[in-house]
Amino acid sequence: MEPLETRRVRFACFSPLTDAIASSNPHPFISLIAPSKGKKLLPRISRHLSAQQMLTVLTLLVACFSQMDIILHAHILDLPEENTRQQDLERQTQAFLGSVIQSILPVVAKAGLRLVSGLLGLLLERSDIVSITQTRVCCYTIYQLPPADRLPNSRALLF
């Protein structure tokens, strides 16, 4: 069996994480996590990724956030009548919140204020903020972030 570091390097070299963000729409990594099984894959592989690779995953998710199926089709969840497409999207959203967000939140909690503000700038630049803020994913993520006084490097924000 090969050492863990070798597997990390091999994973980084052959994964779609290294593709350019503008390479396609949706990005290959976003296509990988589109099905429920793909969303459940991230917690399994995140423990094998270095801190830098997890930051790459986080940056890629933020940069391509508006390409995700749960964002593109979020309006379906607001329809008054129940249908199978709405139930499937609800399952997809719950899988994203339970797997992807839970894998990424520790990275965000450890990140410095400069990185978080850079990610916010990237999100504002590359996404339609109005449509994103109307999704369950956005609401859930905002309520899961730690308070400002528990963020590292946030003493400048406290008076």
pLDDT per position as a tens digit, 16-50: 555 566 666 788 888 888 888 888 888 898 888 88
pLDDT at 115: 92
Joined tokens for residue 149: 């006084």
Residue 114 has pLDDT above 60, yes or no: yes
Other C-beta atoms within 10 Å of 150: how many?
9
Other C-beta atoms within 10 Å of 85: how many?
12
